[in-house]
Chain A
Amino acid sequence: MGLILAILVQGIQMVLVLALAPGLIGFTRKVKARLLRRQGPSILQPYRDLLRLVRKEAVLADNASWLFRNAPYLIFATTWVAAALVPTFAAGLHFSWAADLIAITALLGSARFFLALAGMDIGTSFGGIGSSREMLFATLAEPAMIMIVFTVALVAGSTQLSTVAEFMVDHSTLRVSLGLALIGLIIVALTENARVPVDNPATHLELTMVHEAMILEYSGRHLAVIELAAALKLLLYISLIACIFAPWGMARQDDGVLGMLVGVVTWVGKLAIGSFLMVLFETAIAKMRVFRVPEFVGGALMLGLLGTLLLFVSRSF
């Protein structure tokens, strides 16, 4: 019975992240538009867009290979699995030990690997430029993420996200290392989700675009699946930040239905606050030149390394 319940909770989590992800994108667009004193599209617009795209026929370039056709599904699947493994409304998810935080980072790395390859498949200059720059950002963002994981894991004594979340609820103390890790993680999240100082999600046909350049050749259902994966990734990162640095309200393993409901409500609240802060930051800052980005992300790497070193050194006192 307990097992069935646990699997049920895990299933709810998987469906919930999938269902809320486009809404989160819609919410950020709405808030951004309101901050710019525009009316903005409805929050439900991304759902309608996805539905429209899915129903259309897919237009493939003449020389598109099997990799181009299959990559969207693999990107979606790896991102979804990664998102399903981050505790959102309940800690101690049944399958959370299947992959720890390092494995979740690597899963997102797999998604990026396929996305970059798909960008190069047709052999257009835009696709190549996108893939090349995406991989450049990743070479710094990924080690930064690993160092942040180190910092968090050394504080909590585990790389399992559920354990980390429970630890953070029980021992919420201020630590310099965690502060450094938080700033680093925000930088990584902005980079990985192609948000404003790094890339512009609203751009099209601009020489500095990265993520949009890679998916330029996609259309129809393939594009829909990739867009959904991008939305899932944004949701994943906000949930991850919330889970590590603001885990309050999250349901425990043995909490009843009421605890779960409280967990869901607080999680949705956290998503709203997180995306609002992100949009606020985006409207306040200008986009960087491409070669400023390595310095920005390199800063995250340094912060992560500094956080880890502080913990290594402070152990002896």
Chain B
Amino acid sequence: MRDAENRRAGYVYLLMASFGTLMLLLAFGLLAGPDGDYAFSAIRTAEHVPWLAGLVLVLMLLGAGSKAGLVPLHVWLPLAHPAAPSHVSALMSGVMTKVAVYGFIRVVFDLAGEPAWWWAVLVLILGAGSAVLGVLHAVLQRDLKRLLAYSTVENIGIIFIGLGLGLAFKTNNMAGAAALAVTASIFHAFNHSLFKSLLFFGAGNVLTGSGERDIEKLGGLVHRMPETAYLFLGGCLAISALPPLNGFVSEWLILQAILLSPDLPQWALRFLVPASGAMLALAAALAAACFVRAFGITFLSRPRSPAAETAHEVSRWQIRAMYSLLVVCLIAGVFPGPFLDALSPVSQMLVAGAMPKQPILPHLSIIPISESRSSYSGFLVFFFIMMASWAAIRVIHNFASRAVRRAPPWDCGFPDASPVTQYTADSFAQPIRRVFGPIAFRAKISQTMPQPGDLAPARLTLSLRDLIWELIYTPIESAVLFAAERLNILQFLTIRSYLSLVFAALVLLLVLVATWA
């Protein structure tokens, strides 16, 4: 079963990767021009015709987008990333997708010349679509690793929203705002590589410890895999954009960049930018729901299968490697200033502007534009939260009671000993599916209720349709199949027909050459 799935994953991955590479080759071919000088310095100085540069952007979106997992070119990603061993998945989701982002930034911001404003429209739409669709898929997944893969699609979307904003500001010569957007976007790429690797390692630990990837069969791992639970929780907090961790800082910066966009002169952008801001906020909120579900069903509650009941913690070294990632997540969230400063040469090169130098004093806050507009100090927030919880614990334990008694769960007086009665992953996602499903997946539920007296079980079937697959890939697939079947005749012709075909082709080409000149 899994083998067949893996083969399909490999096949789709192979097709999409070759398609992406083809698009990238064409893009570079267009950039290099007829002289064919592929050095970056030569491309940078060359004059690019506007419509050719636009074509390069489209090709880059197709090429780099398919490698990064941008909707609608993401289809291979949730198949291929979970199929690999977990540490390889971490590398694929955390690092490889960022290489595609790098390629996109390098070509579109650096090499392709002055951007036109409609580039930003295209990038923003694809980014916002990826963010929301990716996380909506992620909320409904039962396979822990596939859930993480879909969440990668979401985060790539967030990164591209930032890049789209950067393009919009760059074409309108708003260097400071463009620097903010691009810096935020690259910082988010960095953050995502940290927490997504951490989460994939965690999923790998769960797989090693229990042999199970289906969260519907897990539960209660917090007791048997305590350290993995700590680490996975840290990753969940970071990816759900909750302060004081790093995911929040980069999303906060992107939101700050959106607030600068009413000054954009183009009407299309003025409508699109707040809409993509709403999409970003929606994606962040859905991500929180998604990771509450992922952590809650996997690690909390009671074990739902013998595999979860007998799970064991993994080796010390596996845990230690993850601690290093969590520590970097925390540092990047609490002291983001130096990271942003380190990115200023990059934004200087890409959009000829930089964020203000982040002050060390007072209080290590970060300032996107100016102090009166907005500031955020991860350190102070972290410090206050720690102090407040510490104070609450001390006061209550010292002056009131610290007695604890263990008892059976209360559950309003009707506890049921069977773990089957718990909320499952599907039931947790049901309200979200019910609200967003009809739009995003054309979700339909049908019931068959047997007649009274009939002993057949009642059935409830749920149909979810992947619209992207149905509207884009299925038509392409059937077109290719149709063409292949028609062309198949050519394999079985007589030698005379082949010779006449060759002759006809020769004549056609000669005529073509003659008329071209």
Contact = CB atoms under 8 A, between A and B. Distances in A.
Interface of A: 54-67, 73-74, 76-78, 80-81, 84, 95, 97-100, 102-103, 106-107, 109-110, 112-113, 116-117, 120-129, 131-133, 135-136, 138-143, 146-147, 150, 153-154, 157-160, 163, 205, 216-217, 219-221, 224-225, 290-291, 294, 301, 304-305, 308-309, 311-313, 315-316
B385 A78 contact: yes
B140 to A, nearest CB: 13
Contacts of A117: 292, 295-296, 300
A63 B392 CA distance: 24
Nearest to B279: A143
Nearest to A205: B412
Given A81-B388, A159-B259, A313-B270, A109 B278 contact: no
B102 interface: no
A136 B289 contact: yes
B269 to A, nearest CB: 9
Interface string B220-262: 1011001001000100010011110000100010011011011
B255 A102 contact: yes
B389 A99 contact: no
B372 A123 contact: no
Given A60-B405, A106-B248, A132-B430, A98 B365 contact: yes
A77 B222 CA distance: 23
B277 A110 contact: no
B281 A54 contact: no
Q: Give 4 closest A-B pairs by Cβ, nearest first.
A: A128-B423, A123-B301, A57-B403, A143-B281
Contact of A109 (B220, B233, B242, B263): B242
Contacts of B428: 128, 131-132, 135
Given A81-B384, A315-B263, 9 more contacts: A57-B401, A60-B404, A61-B406, A67-B222, A123-B422, A125-B421, A131-B423, A138-B285, A159-B373
A305 B280 CA distance: 13
B216 to A, nearest CB: 13
Contacts of A291: 431, 434-435
A97 to B, nearest CB: 4
Nearest to A76: B392
Contact of B409 (A122, A160, A221): A122
B289 A138 contact: yes
Contact of A123 (B219, B277, B407, B427): B219
B376 interface: yes
B172 to A, nearest CB: 13
A123 to B, nearest CB: 3
B252 A143 contact: no
A59 B371 contact: no
B409 to A, nearest CB: 4
A102 to B, nearest CB: 6
Given A113-B237, A128-B428, A305-B278, A158 B372 contact: yes
Nearest to A309: B274
26 contacts: A54-B400, A59-B407, A59-B410, A62-B408, A73-B392, A77-B389, A97-B375, A100-B375, A102-B255, A102-B374, A103-B243, A106-B248, A113-B288, A116-B292, A117-B295, A125-B411, A135-B428, A138-B285, A142-B285, A159-B373, A216-B412, A219-B410, A225-B396, A301-B278, A305-B275, A316-B270
Contact of A106 (B222, B241, B377, B384): B241
B222 A163 contact: no
Interface string B482-509: 0000000000000000000000000000
B306 interface: no
B281 A124 contact: no
Contacts of A76: 388-389, 392
A121 B295 CA distance: 10
A110 B292 contact: no
Contact of B376 (A100, A113, A290): A100
Interface residues of B, number: 90
A127 B423 contact: yes
Nearest to A115: B292
A54 B274 contact: no
B302 interface: yes
A108 B416 CA distance: 33
A57 B373 CA distance: 47
Contact of B388 (A55, A77, A112, A113): A77
Contacts of A74: 385, 389
B122 interface: no
A99 B249 CA distance: 11
Most buried by A among B233, B405, B406, B412: B412
A224 to B, nearest CB: 8
Interface of B: 219-220, 222-223, 226, 229, 233, 237, 240-243, 248, 252, 255-256, 258-259, 261-263, 265, 270-271, 273-275, 277-278, 281-282, 284-286, 288-289, 292-293, 295-297, 300-302, 363, 365, 371-377, 380-381, 384-389, 392-393, 396, 400-401, 403-412, 415-416, 419, 421-423, 427-432, 434-435
A55 B401 contact: yes
Contacts, number: 287
A66 B431 CA distance: 28
Nearest to B283: A143
Nearest to A116: B292
A308 B376 contact: no
B376 A99 contact: yes
B262 A154 contact: yes
A112 B295 CA distance: 14
A76 B387 CA distance: 11
Contact of A221 (B271, B371, B388, B401): B401
A263 to B, nearest CB: 22
A19 B422 CA distance: 38
Given A76-B392, A120-B423, A122-B409, A132 B431 contact: yes
Given A98-B384, A142-B284, A146-B255, A54 B396 contact: yes
A160 B374 contact: yes
A113 B262 contact: no
A1 B372 CA distance: 23
Nearest to B388: A77
B392 A125 contact: no
A61 B300 CA distance: 13
A154 to B, nearest CB: 6
A256 to B, nearest CB: 24
Contacts of B273: 312
Most buried by A among B223, B229, B411, B419: B411
A127 to B, nearest CB: 7
A64 B281 CA distance: 33
B381 A99 contact: yes
A25 B429 CA distance: 32
A97 B371 CA distance: 8
Contacts of B386: 77
A159 B387 CA distance: 25
Contacts of A308: 274, 277-278
Contacts of B406: 59-62, 64
Contact of B278 (A122, A143, A313): A143
B220 A123 contact: yes
Contacts of B282: 139, 143
A157 B373 contact: yes
A146 B404 contact: no
Nearest to B269: A312
Nearest to B407: A59
